[in-house]
Amino acid sequence: MSAAKTGEVTRVTVRLLEKEYVIACPPSERAALLDSAELLNAKMREVRDSGKIIGLDRIAVIAALNLTHELLGLKTVERRVDEEFTGRVLAMRERVDTALSKGQQLEL
């Protein structure tokens, strides 16, 4: 994987299943692009090595679907954690407000 600078963008060469692709991206996004290509290449290898899917385009689509499925699963978990955290903060705030209104000492 290499890069050649051209003005506002950097041309980055990535390799996916032994095929090279040149992609233009802002210099600040180069590292993220390389990391993404590395992850996609690994997923594409997994799909190819399973022996069930043949053809680069089909392998790429299945790998993309697998990655998207994982991403959506992580977003669901993140949403649940956010909801739980918000609930706990609201409960603590209510306890603090109640204790302050009663002039009591609060035990956390």
CA dist 69 and 54 (Å) reads: 21
Q: Inter-axis angle of helices 30-49 and 56-102, to 10 degrees? A: 120
Q: What is the pLDDT of residue 50?
A: 94
Domain boundaries, the chain: 3-101
Superfamily per CATH, domain 3-101? Cell division protein ZapA protomer, N-terminal domain (3.30.160.880)
Cα separations (Å) of 68 from 37, 60, 71, 97, 106?
Answer: 15, 12, 5, 43, 46
Series of mean pLDDT values for 10-residue runs along the chain (108 residues): 62 95 96 97 96 91 96 92 91 86 66
Q: What is the pLDDT of residue 54?
A: 87
pTM of the prediction? 0.67
